[in-house]
Chains A and B, each alone.
Chain A
Amino acid sequence: MGAGASDRPPTGASAAAGRMRGRLALADVVGLALALEARQALLESERRTQDRALAPVLADEQGARRLRRWVALSATPALALRVRRVVHAVAWTRAVFSLGGMLLGWSATSALLSIRGPGGRISIAACLGVLVALPFLSWLATLFGGLLRGRRAASDRAPLARPLHRLILRLLPASVRSDAEAIFGRARAHAALLVRLQRALATQFLLLGGVGFGIGALAATGIFVVFTDLAFGWSTTLDVAPERVHRLVGALARPWAELWPAASPSLELVEATRHFRVAPGSPGPGDALSGSSPLLYGGWWPFLVMAIACYALLPRLLTLPIVALVVGRECERVLRLMPGALALLESLASPWIESGGEGGQERASRALDAMVPEVALAGWMSRAAGGEVPVAIVWAEAISPAAIEAEIGAGLRIHAAGGRASVEADAAVVRAVAGSGGALLVCVRGDEPPLLELLDFLAALRAAAGAERALAVVLVGGAVRDLETWQRKLASLADSRLAVARIERANARGAA
């Protein structure tokens, strides 16, 4: 299977198109098993490319039919050839069973009609036993073992099917054997799912064999009837009245009695064809029958022919389509449950979404150690003021003048910068405070991040006010983690006289 189905025309699509709507078949199971194996060999990206290319074409199909279509579209010529080989092998197996059954039916009938008893009689009971009763019972057994029991059985055991399929595998050419494991074998990953399918297939093969047997038996009977003179008879050690035997064969002949009355043995025929070894006048072995009309002894053949047709052949012919349906249903089940099939269906149904970032991500490195120290505002003020009135610059309306006076003390010289103020106004504030003395307080909102424009302002302030002037950034409100953020960011200014202090938001709020 190629990596990209869009690179080449989908092989097998036209050939498979005709049967796309038909019943699911063994070819689909084999195709999917082999195609999924080939899929395993692909890279994830190749699988994805292929699935996404095929998904729109498969959008109209569901479940197992979508899988079948996927196989048809994605299979390479080599894979399609392998599938065809296995399908041919199955067809060959069916033919072998049919022909084998036919040969067996012919042989058995020939043998039965050739073995003559006393007076050259052929035992009608033996004929009915081998050509009618045995096939009928085997049909019942096949049906029970293959379909009824197979449907209900909880275990994986398939006592008849497994040996039969092992035998088939052994008879297949080596080139096909490995691929035929997809339905007959136990070596595949999905082998455990095949039990019921294998049972249904074994049933189908056996039914075909039975049909062949019936046809062979009918053909042989016809030949013998036309080209030889058959003399049937019956005997028993038991004290059975001919009337009872007549009732029995009459019951057996009931299905066709109306259609072909001659094929329902009469009481006269039953009585006339009964023989005893020790009765007076009975012919010995090798002696020819005498007395009665020779044609009377051949009167059983229509009954025998109809019994073979009705009890050995017809039930199988009627059952075969049902088994074909069961095979189709099991194929669908195996397709649905095959390992990898569900993942494939999901992949076909789900769009491939890519939404991740492209290229590398450049991240800011974070200085881990450097932090501007936090100070207690009152103590810092008393140490730094130097007898002069402190200057407070309120950045971006972080606190009202009344609130800052309430917090720090009256008599402050207060300026406003940042926020709605222009850049020129900021510069004017820097110039204004540079000429005065006293500690410098820049009040900012603690819950907002430190921006570069504030750092620019602080740098300008330091340059204008001189390196020794006490300067503190006062955080109004904000959490403890905000304080740390500010301490680290302000450290990038490398200002040894810079400090950070906090005012609780609750204190500032009242007057703000």
Chain B
Amino acid sequence: MTRPSDEAAPSGPLPRFAVVGHPNKGKSSLVATLARDASVAIAPHPGTTLVAREYPFRIDGVPLYVLIDTPGFQRARAVLAALESRARETNASAADRPRLVAEFLAMPGQRERFPDECELLGPIVAGAGIVYVVDGSVAYGPQYEAEMEILRWTGRPSLAVINPISSRDHVTEWEAALGQFFRIVRVVDAVNADLQAQSRLLKAFAELEAGWRAPIEAALAALERARVGRRIQTARAIAEWIAQALVYDVERRIAPDESAELHREALAAEYHASLARSERAARERVQAIHGHAALEARADELALLEADLFAEGTWLVFGLTRRQLVSAGAAGGAATGGVIDLAVGGASLLLGVATGAVVGGVLGFLGAQRLPELTLVDRPLGGRLVRYGPARSPGFPFVLLGRARLHARLLSRRTHARRDPVEVEAVPAAALPLDAVFRKRLERDFARLRAADDAALARAEATQALADTLQALLAADDSESAEAT
């Protein structure tokens, strides 16, 4: 049984990329982003990484390449001086330099004198390609030249990454300097690089040595498939959550002579709390799909997303305009009317659809921000129930969707190098437009879900239809996001 990853597996030694550079320039951030590993130690103070750590990229267990996070140079000039001294002693030519570096590392006592250099040069001497990382927000200085010279001595293929940590003030200056030492120079924001930027960088990695292209391309194809898979799963998670919320209600038995109004407040509180809980659960599911399960601890910081579902602000941000509400209400009403038509075998001459559309549209206009209703239900065997919900407003599912979509978008853009809380403000609501085609499709899907009511098969199909629409919507979001970058 041959897997695609087997075919792409390198026939020779595994491509290995040592990410090296000055301390605190984003080496670990770059590794965390490319390896999608939130456990990589990243800290604002230098010298966090003490030993080289490998991050093999495997598809179905087949390794395709290895990233190596390394400590930064600490005594580069001393190491270079030792190498130059050794070269003079042995009258070595430029061709001997890689051997000299290897011999230098093998000398007794060097690991004690130069622990960081030994850690970072070890993988390079063993055959790794070099990825040299600098900070594009600080000025170039002569202190970098010794390190770049040592890397040149190793004779290994190399590229440089300018990581603009806090600004791009010195990127041009760095490009000029690095161009003298490295054939390939790329500017990549290690913490915020989206999948396209990561792909471009990995393609540059593939250029370093013949034979590395196939495994890298296989890795990129797998990453793209995985992205599509995450999108499908996210769409389904959101669709299932909305399907559940649309029909959600809470009930309580009451005495025959008891007033239903007495229970309104308690039932509403229970309804809201329960809905909020299930929304959090849905979010956690989406976070787990994106490999950001740890974000759960920061849920309190999702300020806008944590806003009460029925708060007016939420409706203004995620809800529909009055006109759109009329349209959504009409679609829902038509679906309900359609059920009536079917029940009477078409004898109503489709009046149900027409009437439902008009009534739904009017209700949509009048009840734009309508809260769930309190209803009394007579039980067949006696007694009464008071029921709060489900929310019938045509805008309600759009609010749920808007919140879920915003959350999903934040997650899909988030790299594993980021340690800060989610900044909701970074994606204003205006950046989440819903074009007419999608709005119509969603109106139809929501109407189907509501019409399905308690029919499990119809609900399952309607949920799947909504998931398909959401998948297309999230794909459009992704491509829009890619175009923006």
Q: How far is the CA of A398 from the CA of B142 in the complex (A)?
A: 9
**Distance of A351 Cα from B2 Cα, bound (Å):** 14
Question: Which residue of the partner chain, among A53, A352, A357, A449, contacts B46 with CB atoms under 8 Å?
Answer: A449
Chain B residues near A358: list those with CB within 8 A: 53-56
| A192 cross-chain contacts in B, Cβ below 8 A | 456-457, 460
**B74 is contacted by which of A53, A359, A398, A451 (Cβ under 8 Å)?**
A451
Alpha-carbon gap, A398 to B141, bound state (A): 8
* Contacting residues of chain B (441-485) with chain A, CB-CB under 8 angstroms: 451-458, 460-461, 464
Residues of chain B lying within 8 A (CB to CB) of residue A453? 74-78
Q: Mark out the residues of chain A between 400 and 438 whose CB falls within 8 Å of any chain B CB in the assembled complex.
A: 418-420, 422-424
**B35 A357 Cβ-Cβ under 8 A:** yes
Q: Is B226's CB within 8 Å of the partner chain A?
A: yes
The CA of A454 and the CA of B67, in the complex, are separated in Å by 30
Instruction: Choose among A333, A349, A356, A489 the residue with the greatest number of B CB atoms under 10 Å from its CB.
Output: A356
Contacts of B141 in A (CB 8 A): 396-398, 419, 445, 448
**A80: interface (CB < 8 Å):** no
A56 at the interface (CB under 8 A from B): yes
Interface string of A194-207 (1 = CB under 8 A from B): 11100000000000
Tell me which of A104-112, A265-273, A300-308, A362-370 binds B. A362-370
The listed residue with most A CB atoms (<10 A of its CB), out of B23, B74, B232, B339, is B74
B58 at the interface (CB under 8 A from A): yes
CA distance A451 to B78 in the complex (A): 12
8 Å CB interface, B37-55 against A: 37, 39-41, 43-51, 53-55
Contact call A451/B460, Cβ cutoff below 8 A: no
One digit per residue, 1 when the CB lies within 8 angstroms of any chain B CB and 0 when it does not, for chain A 240-280 equals 00000000000000000000000000000000000000000
Within 8 A of A (CB), among B375-402: none
Q: Are A156 and B455 in contact (CB under 8 A)?
A: yes
With A419-B142, A448-B138 as contacts: A351 and B54 at CB distance below 8 Å: no
CB atoms of B55 and A355 under 8 A apart: yes
Is A40's beta carbon under 8 Å from chain B?
A: no
Give the interface size bracket for A toward B.
Answer: 35 or more
Q: A468 near B: Cβ within 8 Å?
A: no
The answer, yes or no, to whether B304 is at the interface (CB within 8 Å) is no
Cβ of A53: which chain B residues have Cβ within 8 Å of it? 1
Question: Which among A55, A361, A450 has the highest number of chain B CB atoms within 10 Å?
Answer: A361
The answer to the question of B433 belonging to the interface, with a C-beta cut-off of 8 Å to chain A, is no
* A330-373 interface code vs B (CB 8 A; 1 in, 0 out): 00010011000010001001111111111101111010000000
Does B296 make an interface contact (CB < 8 A)?
Answer: no
Q: Are A349 and B225 in contact (CB under 8 A)?
A: yes
Known: A154-B455, A156-B456, A419-B143. A55 touches B56 (CB 8 A): no
CA distance A448 to B465 in the complex (A): 55
Q: Is A21 an interface residue (CB 8 A)?
A: no
Interface of B is mostly: mixed
Is B61 an interface position by the 8 A CB rule? yes
- The answer to whether B60 touches A363 (Cβ under 8 A) is no
* Min CB–CB distance B414 → chain A (angstroms): 16
Pair A152/B456 contact, Cβ less than 8 Å:
no
Is B229 in contact with chain A by the CB < 8 A criterion?
yes
B275: CB under 8 A from chain A? no
By the criterion CB–CB under 8 Å, are B50 and A363 in contact? yes
Inside 8 A of A357's CB, which chain B residues have their CB? 35, 37, 39-40, 53-55, 69
Given A193-B457, A397-B141, A418-B143: A452 in contact with B226 (beta carbons within 8 A): no
- Specify which chain B residues have a CB less than 8 angstroms from the CB of A52 in the assembled complex: 3, 60-61
Q: How far is the CA of A336 from the CA of B467 in the complex (A)?
A: 13
Q: A352-B60, A361-B41 given as contacts; is B81 within 8 A of A423 (CB)?
A: yes
How far does the alpha carbon of A396 sit from the alpha carbon of B143 in the complex, in Å? 6
Question: Which residues of chain B from 411 to 449 have any CB-CB distance to chain A below 8 Å in the complex?
Answer: none
Q: Which residues of B contact A447 (CB under 8 A)?
A: 138-139
| A485, CB-defined interface residue at 8 Å | yes
Pair A55/B60 contact, Cβ less than 8 Å = yes
Instruction: Check A342 against B46 for contact (C-beta < 8 Å).
Output: no
From residue B65, how far is it (CB to closest CB) to chain A in Å?
Answer: 10
Residue B97 lies at the interface, judged by CB distance under 8 Å to chain A: no
Are B75's CB and A451's CB within 8 A? yes
A156, B143: Cβ atoms closer than 8 Å: no
Alpha-carbon gap, A355 to B116, bound state (A): 24
Cα–Cα distance between A53 and B59 once the two chains are bound (Å): 12
From residue A105, how far is it (CB to closest CB) to chain B in Å?
32
**Is B27's CB within 8 Å of the partner chain A?**
no
A342 contacts which chain B residues (CB < 8 A)? 236
Contact at A154–B453, with CB atoms within 8 Å? yes
Chain A, Cβ-Cβ closest to B452: A154
A140, CB-defined interface residue at 8 Å: no
Q: Does A456 contact B (CB under 8 A)?
A: yes
Set A56, A350, A361, A449: member contacting B23, Cβ < 8 A: A449
- Complex alpha-carbon distance, A52 and B236, angstroms: 22
Is the Cβ of B48 less than 8 Å from the Cβ of A359? no
List chain B residues, Cβ under 8 A from A363.
41, 43, 48-50
Nearest 3 CB-CB pairings of A with B: A192-B456, A449-B46, A350-B229
Known: A354-B57, A358-B55; 10 extra A-B contacts, CB below 8 A, are A192-B456, A350-B225, A350-B226, A351-B222, A352-B58, A358-B53, A361-B49, A423-B78, A449-B23, A485-B44
| Interface of A toward B, CB cutoff 8 Å | 6, 52-53, 55-57, 152-156, 192-196, 333, 336-337, 342, 346, 349-359, 361-364, 366, 396-398, 418-420, 422-424, 445, 447-453, 456, 481, 485, 488-489
Could you list 25 A-B pairs, sorted by A, with CB under 8 Å? Answer: A52-B60, A56-B3, A57-B1, A192-B460, A336-B464, A342-B236, A346-B229, A346-B233, A351-B59, A352-B59, A353-B222, A353-B226, A354-B61, A355-B34, A355-B57, A358-B55, A359-B53, A363-B43, A419-B141, A420-B142, A423-B81, A424-B81, A447-B138, A448-B143, A452-B74
Q: Which residues of B contact A (CB under 8 A)?
A: 1-5, 22-24, 34-37, 39-41, 43-51, 53-61, 67, 69, 72-78, 81, 116, 138-139, 141-143, 145, 222-223, 225-226, 229, 232-233, 236, 339, 342, 451-458, 460-461, 464
